[in-house]
Amino acid sequence: MVIPQNLKEEYPFSENSLMLNSGHKLNYVDEGSGEPILMLHGNPTWSFYYRNLIKEMAKTHRVIVPDHIGCGLSDKPQDYDYSLENHIQNIEALVSKLELKKLSLVVHDWGGAIGFGYATRHNQNISKIVALNTAAYRSKHMPKSIAICKIPFFGERLVRHLNAFAWPATFMSVEKPLSKIIKAGYLLPYNNYKNRIATARFVKDIPLTKGHPSYGTLKAIEEGLPDLKVPKLFLWGGKDFCFNDHFYRDWKGFYPEAEYTYIKDAGHYVLEDAKDTVIEKTREFLS
């Protein structure tokens, strides 16, 4: 997929790729030098979500931002197992290939489960964690708009045929309207039925019951959270329709010693609504 010229100013990064054992290409941004920061996006975003934070943090750090398989500029296979376990293993492969040591994590949305999944398995390799409106533990809380997209057969047709996930997110996830060009950036990788497979499968992979294939993986992550003793910063949009205040309180229960910044007028895409605050707080915390 080619980045249009009118998006190059917003997303000026070179493409890098890792060929996974599955035979699929994982695209990633690799900018700057110094101590490594690994940023993990969720659904239905891609590395584009972190573009402004990349530009700032790459001045002082090495910043690595992959597009999960099925997302962004990575391959979008139609016969792939889009499971939490596979996404975590892909991150393990990337960290190993790049020989990243004592990295800091920045996570958002489902990138939290993937990132904390990596961290709980490799806590000796984690320096600090910054979390933006996310979860990495079992929960029954799910907004109706997302629950509809989990309905077997109907949900996937809704997401893939009508783009009823990535497109609504461009206005449901923000309090400040996105410009036309930024909306186009978010939607670029998800422009047809085949390219929307991951946006549907990520929703399908949310484990709500013990019988779900990813339930055990998420349970193990949750059980490993207390062992993560590294400094943590939570930057939270208070008007998130998805990861709402219930999740914010949960995290305070897991990590009462962490630093918390609650941004009452920001939505799920907190990095869009409160760009300056998120960048400033992240820079201070990771410096």
- Give the pLDDT confidence of 54-110 residue by residue, as tens digits: 999 999 999 999 999 999 999 999 999 999 999 999 999 999 999 999 999 999 999
* pLDDT less than 70: residues of the chain: 142-145, 147, 149-150, 153
Residue pLDDT, tens place only, 105-123: 999 999 999 999 999 999 9
Rounded-to-integer distance, Cα 48 and Cα 66, Å: 10
Q: For 31-64, b where at least 16 C-beta lie within 10 A, e where not — what string? A: bbeebbbbbbbbbbbbbbbbbebbbbbbeebbbb
Q: Which H or E run includes 53?
A: helix 51-57
Please state, in angstroms and rounded to a whole number, the distance separating the CA atoms of residues 88 and 119: 10
How far apart are the C-alpha atoms of 240 and 247, rounded to whole Å? 10
Cβ-count burial 198-232 (b if 16+ within 10 Å, e if not): bbbbbbbbbbeeeeeebeebbeebbebeeebeebb
Class of domain 9-286: alpha beta
pLDDT of residue 265: 97
* Paired sense of beta strands 16-19 and 259-263, if any: unpaired
Note the residue count of the chain: 287
Measured distance CA(101)–CA(127) in Å, rounded: 9
Q: Provide the CA 97 distance to its chain's centre, in angstroms.
A: 20
pTM for this structure?
A: 0.96
What is the token pair recorded at 124?
Answer: 């000796």
Of 204, 199, 181, the residue nearest 68 (C-alpha): 199
Identify whether the C-beta of residue 230 lies closer than 8 Å to the C-beta of residue 286.
no
Q: What share of the chain is helix, strand, coil (3-state, %, to 5)?
A: 45, 15, 40
What local confidence, expressed as pLDDT, does residue 155 receive?
Answer: 78
